[in-house]
Amino acid sequence: MKDLFYALQDFFVNVAFAPLDALRALELENWFLANGINWFFMIICAVAMVYWMLQLKKFDSNNEEDKSISSHSFL
């Protein structure tokens, strides 16, 4: 049983977290390159938000949404 936990430790320390160790070492040399993944995801989120806003504008311009004011029957 003890060997199983040592095997898990060896896997996570030496294999699974190796890319993160490389990023940690890279950060000391070039901050922008080390944070390239974050910049990539921020660009994806910005593009997705612009697309979403354009789609909302398109549906609002077509008057497809029911904007009548009504309340619930229990009020």
CA distance 72 to 40: 45
- Is residue 67 pLDDT above 80, yes or no? no
Prediction pTM value:
0.57
pLDDT tens sequence across 1-37: 999 999 999 999 999 999 989 988 998 999 888 898 8
The sign of the CA dihedral 3, 22, 39, 29 is positive
| 33 contacts 26 by C-beta, under 8 angstroms | yes
- Is residue 74 pLDDT above 80, yes or no? no
Contacts of 37 (CB under 8 A, 6+ apart): 23
- Is residue 73 pLDDT above 70, yes or no? no
Contacts of 26 (CB under 8 A, 6+ apart): 33, 34
CA distance 58 to 64: 10
